[in-house]
Amino acid sequence: MRKRWKYEVLMVVFCLGCGRLFAQETPITPGNGQGAPTNLNTTTPLDSARPFIVRNIIISGNRKTKPYIIERELLFKRGDSVNLADLVSRFERSKELLMNTALFHEAIVSLKEFNGHHVDIAIDVKERWYLFPIPYVKPVDRNLSEWAKQGYGFDRLNYGLKLNYNNFTGRNDKLKAWLITGYSKQIQLQYELPYVDKALKNGIRVGFTYRTNKEVNYGTDNNEQQFHRDSSGNTVLSKQWSAFVSFTHRPAIRTRNTISLAYIGQEVDTSITNRNPKYFSNGRTRLSFPEITYKVEYSDLDYNPYPQKGVSGEVSILKRGFNKSFNLWQLSARGGKHGFLAPKLSYSLQASGTLRLPFDQPFINQQLFGYGDFYLRGLEKYVMDGVAAILFKNTLRRQILQFYIPTPFTSHDRIPFTIFLKTYADAGYAYNKLQSGNTLTNRMLYTGGFGIDLLTFYDLSFKIEYSFNQRGQSGLFFHFKNDF
């Protein structure tokens, strides 16, 4: 009887521990023989109350990634004493953490061998392609809806080459070199090394950017951006450069602190300040200023690019400029809660907000809704400027399909696709001391809709959404996101 109980325990551990995680997959499934326990000690009954001791961690599949970078993400280390139930949960969470490094498109964490209450753990990974010399073609406008409003003009495209070299030396470091021309021009160099110390807690990031533009968004009217370009279309109306250095401190797994120091210079043509004297401040056409940012992040998510389970939060404080003519304090916060209501049915509750002081700010410090990922679904056509804002996003989604397409590549033998149906409702508010004819500020905003999300590897996501807003408008919107 005792012998039968012992083998039942071993089979439970094996079935739960030997799983395959593939990009968006979070369930643990039985292995196909990989990582199966061998040389089991069958002469001594296991004591379920006695903790297991991690004897060895065997890593395979990491052709470039340094082993210590992988071990940094694990919730166990050699010599740890862990009870059975806790060991299984650490396996699952460690696989999620490995995937969230964006270094691998597949990871397996499994029991390799039992020897009494000593265990060997196997980590098997499949690395991504890390070098991406990508031809770059993208509209200069802030999103596809804005590009459509401008007539899908090919003359509004930027093009060039983006060289992204992730895991540059095998230390999860990143090298970026962007050469962009077309409607606007940009040169960007950036290098990030997440760990510079033996304790693997401190990192650094440095970068430089220079860009020019022939068209400038000099103001907002009727909730829409107002642009100006020279009649010839060839005159450069704005120049900007910036240099920065960031220091990160990651004391454990879930928390990260970042301090960034930057110096920024901007210059615009007098035709811009003639149209909006408050573009910078006091009709100035040149500006240079330091910027200091402190940010603390907490993340306990199953899959960072598209979370279905876990919580996250972020708080940052920014200081831009140090004189009366250009002086900004900004406090920002965001958080999210994600979970499952039933198998394949999940929800997301997200909130974010921004406060800028003093309230009297130049135009370039007033961008809020409609820029980046800070928008209400259904109001993508509009922008809302101001000095304070709050945003709530609520989403309910159901996974309806998951399939794989085989490939001839041994390192990428299949491409996963996961499709979700979703419905959502958003709410937001933007405060602007000088409303000046923009009717969407200083009032509550509500939107909703339904859509389809398509996920695949390399953190690619495609979103098709049909949204409604409180103005009685509706429309189809497309969003695309990747990590390139």
What mean pLDDT value characterizes the chain? 86
Higher pLDDT, 478 or 422: 422
pTM reported for the whole predicted model: 0.84
pLDDT one-digit tens code per residue, 228-246? 988 877 789 999 999 999 9
pLDDT one-digit tens code per residue, 62-78? 999 999 999 999 999 99
Average pLDDT over residues 89-105: 95
pLDDT of residue 238: 95
Q: How confident is the model at residue 139 (pLDDT cuts 50, 70, 90)?
A: confident
pLDDT at 367 > cutoff 90: yes
C-alpha dihedral sign at 207, 211, 217, 218:
positive
Q: How confident is the model at residue 117 (pLDDT cuts 50, 70, 90)?
A: confident
Q: How confident is the model at residue 257 (pLDDT cuts 50, 70, 90)?
A: very high
Contacts of 79 (CB under 8 A, 6+ apart): 53, 54
Half-sphere exposure of 210 (CA within 13 A, CB side): 2
pLDDT of residue 433: 84
Contact status, residue 183 vs residue 157, Cβ threshold 8 Å: yes
The token pair that represents 199 in the structure block? 């304790």
Q: Could you tell me the domains of the chain?
A: 2-127 (3.10.20.310), 131-481 (2.40.160.50)
pLDDT at 16 > cutoff 50: no
Concatenating the DSSP letter of every residue in 133-153 gives EEEEEEESSSSHHHHHHTT--
pLDDT of residue 35: 41
Q: How confident is the model at residue 13 (pLDDT cuts 50, 70, 90)?
A: very low
pLDDT of residue 230: 87
